[in-house]
Amino acid sequence: MAAAVLPTPQVLAFDVFGTVVDWHGSILREMAQRYPQVDGDAFALAWREGYRPAMEQVRNGTLGWMRIDALHRRILDGILPEFGLGHMPEAERAELNRVWHRLSPWPDAVAGLQRLKKRFVITPLSNGNIALLTHMAKNAGLPWDCVLSAEVFKAYKPDPAAYLGVADVFELSPEAVMLVAAHHSDLAGARACGLQTAYIERPQEFGAARPKDVSPKPGNTYHCRDFLDLAERLGC
């Protein structure tokens, strides 16, 4: 029996942290500028390590709904003493927490998104909150058509409400939406909801010293080196 032919997607929804922007490298650089006495690599990893457990507390009801900005701040306050920064005043903590608003894009990201935008509606589908994603786009030149976030749906990925919410916003069937991400767990959640998926290789997401395994896995519609590769495959 011939494999089913998938329709060309109409909307491309992008995971952001690690897929569009380099969170590790951005935090590493900022820590080197602000706090050169701190191991910026370890600091970035410790901050990110608290991300999934914090979201899980929201999902299981331990915490009420909180934006990622608030969750990032909770994690930050917890790790500062470990790095000798427990004395940091409130204004300085608030400014450091906004580093997530000014993360730098991967080298191919802006050019790739601009090409994809010519043919498709492009939007983030991130666990980041709307203000964070808007400031990030403004700072990094990310040419989104709109900004969708877990905040819109009050559901953190991989909750189906986030993936299906994109299709609902645009009044499309799930298969008309493609999730683009550098994380197989995110893509698996999207596929379970009927979305098409494209995997993007980001081998240095956790730093050059910790290369990720980016070998292909079954199930994704596309496996791409970067956004420019995806644009080529989608005829942009």
pLDDT, average across residues 169-189: 97
The full DSSP string for 17-66 is BTTTB-HHHHHHHHHHHH-TTS-HHHHHHHHHHTHHHHHHHHHTTSS---
Average pLDDT of the segment spanning 122-145: 98
Number of residues that make up the chain: 236
Residues 112 and 173 in one domain: yes
Does position 1 have pLDDT exceeding 70, yes or no? no
Q: pLDDT per residue over 34-65, tens digit each? A: 999 999 999 999 999 998 899 889 888 898 99
Determine the average pLDDT of the residues in 99-120.
98
Are 142 and 224 contained in the same domain? yes
Q: How far apart are CA 44 and CA 144, in angstroms?
A: 26
- Please check whether residues 30 and 55 belong to one and the same domain: yes
How much is the pLDDT for 76?
Answer: 98
Report yes or no on whether pTM surpasses 0.85.
Answer: yes
pLDDT higher than threshold 50 for residue 17 = yes
pLDDT for the residue numbered 3? 47
Number of C-beta neighbours around residue 161 at 10 A: 15
User: Domain of 33: which CATH number?
Assistant: 1.10.150.240
Contact 188, 219 (CB under 8 A): yes
Q: How confident is the model at residue 5 (pLDDT cuts 50, 70, 90)?
A: low
- Structural domain count of the chain: 2
What's the pLDDT band for 149 if we cut at 50, 70, 90? very high
Q: Looking at the structure, tell me whether residues 136 and 209 fall in a common domain.
A: yes
Q: Give the pLDDT confidence score for residue 6 in this predicted structure.
A: 77
In this prediction, residue 2 carries a pLDDT of 39
Residues 16 and 133 in one domain: yes
pLDDT at residue 55, rounded to an integer: 87
Q: Is the pLDDT of residue 119 over 50?
A: yes
Confidence of residue 7 (pLDDT cuts 50, 70, 90): confident
Strand pairing category for 11-14 and 121-126? parallel
Structural domain containing residue 148: 11-22+105-233
**Can you give the CATH number for the domain in which 196 is found?**
3.40.50.1000
